[in-house]
Amino acid sequence: MIQIKDLTVTYESQGECYEALQQINLELPAGETCVIIGPSGCGKSSLLKVMAGIIRDFAGTVTVNGQPVNPERQRIGFIPQNYGLLPWKNVYENILLGVKIKNQINAATGETLTSLLEQLGLTGLENRYPAELSGGQQQRVALARSFLLKPDLLLMDEPFSALDALTREEIQHVFLNTWREHAISTILVTHQVEEAVYLGRRIVIMSASPGMVSQIIDNPLFGVEDVRRRQDFFELTLALRQQIKEMKRNGAK
Ligand SMILES: Nc1ncnc2c1ncn2[C@@H]1O[C@H](COP(=O)(O)OP(=O)(O)OP(=O)(O)O)[C@@H](O)[C@H]1O
């Protein structure tokens, strides 16, 4: 369970302080996916950075399974926009990196790694370096690394944004299938409404700067087969898009 209570993040720039996030309250049950969406600059990345332990200066409380968030004590997977792969390490070494750093290689690691390679369509690419992979393949390596670590919390900051539309849909599908097997608590930031509806069991809509939680949607379409072809999928994405547009307009006033 991830719990955020009264979270406020204040930045200082050119001698002035301003709130990037204001009084955020959120709860995410273990083993669910939550997608955060909202206008540019509303503090989505800042929220992820707090949960990743990168931003430590904040007001309020953030706990993972009842303990204050702490990447040294908890396993927190973070996939940044550029995937975070080390260019001098091959696919196999990059995937192992997370468990190696956390000193968590055990008897089952090899078997889990082999099955992740298969699930994510990476078998045969183990010895390649990131520069020898497509964007979609690099993204899948980053996912394999995170799932191998079995994190208490997986954070993804616009993880599929650099991919072309078709590859993006394919990787979203691969992600969801892999996630189903491992049921890892995941929080994902996106700008794309379709992605939010496809991947978010919960969808958190944030309002424009300073970022606040505007609405939390219990997504009735999450996990529904062939959902992208359904009329109600189209209608929900349309409604969300409209809501975010209005928030942008209100924020710009
Ligand atoms: N290190 C920093 N110092 C000062 N201000 C910052 C810092 N990082 C972010 N900000 C500001 O805080 C606000 C929130 O930024 P953040 O990157 O969290 O938003 P975002 O919703 O992720 O944006 P985008 O959707 O454009 O990626 C913005 O106004 C940004 O300019």
Whether 121 contacts 177, CB under 8 Å: no
Which tokens in the block code for residue 27? 């709860």
The answer to whether the CB of 188 is under 6 A from ligand 1 is no
Whether 214 contacts 205, CB under 8 Å: yes
Q: Phi/psi of residue 125, each to 5°?
A: -105, 5
In this structure, the answer to whether residues 146 and 201 fall within a common structural domain is no
Q: How far is the CA of 79 from the centre of ligand 1 (A)?
A: 18
Q: Specify the pTM.
A: 0.90
Atom of ligand 1 nearest to the CA of 47: 18
Whose structure tokens read 């049921």?
Answer: 183
In this structure, the answer to whether residues 138 and 83 fall within a common structural domain is yes
In this structure, the answer to whether residues 204 and 136 fall within a common structural domain is no
- Please write the tens of the pLDDT for every residue from 102-136: 888 888 889 999 988 988 889 999 999 999 999 88
Which tokens in the block code for residue 178? 């892999």
Which tokens in the block code for residue 107? 């008897």
Whose structure tokens read 């072809």?
Answer: 229
Domain boundary among 151, 177, 202: 151
Domain boundary among 125, 151, 177: 151
In this structure, the answer to whether residues 109 and 133 fall within a common structural domain is yes
Whose structure tokens read 């379409």?
Answer: 221
Would you call 60 helix, strand, or coil by DSSP? Answer: strand
The answer to whether the CB of 11 is under 6 A from ligand 1 is yes
Give the residue whose CA is nearest to atom 5 of ligand 1: 11
pLDDT of residue 149: 87
Which of 17, 22, 36, 46 to mutate to test ligand 1, by most ligand atoms within 8 A of the CB atom?
A: 46
Whether 206 contacts 244, CB under 8 Å: no
Whole-complex ipTM: 0.97
Can you give the pLDDT of all 253 residues of the chain as single tens digits?
899 999 999 998 888 998 999 999 999 999 999 999 988 889 999 999 999 989 999 999 999 989 999 888 888 988 888 888 999 999 999 999 989 888 888 888 899 999 889 888 899 999 999 999 998 899 899 989 988 988 889 999 988 887 788 888 888 888 898 888 888 999 999 999 999 999 999 999 999 878 899 999 999 999 998 899 999 999 999 999 988 888 777 765 5
Residue 51: give the domain boundaries: 1-73+155-160+186-253
In this structure, the answer to whether residues 113 and 60 fall within a common structural domain is no
Alpha carbon 108 to its chain centroid, in Å, reads 26
Would you call 129 helix, strand, or coil by DSSP? Answer: coil
pLDDT of residue 251: 64
SS3 of 78-124: the string is: EECCCCCCCCCCCHHHHHHHHHHHCCCCCCCHHHHHHHHHHHCCCCC
End-to-end CA distance of the chain: 37
d(CA 87, CA 109): 23
In this structure, the answer to whether residues 109 and 46 fall within a common structural domain is no
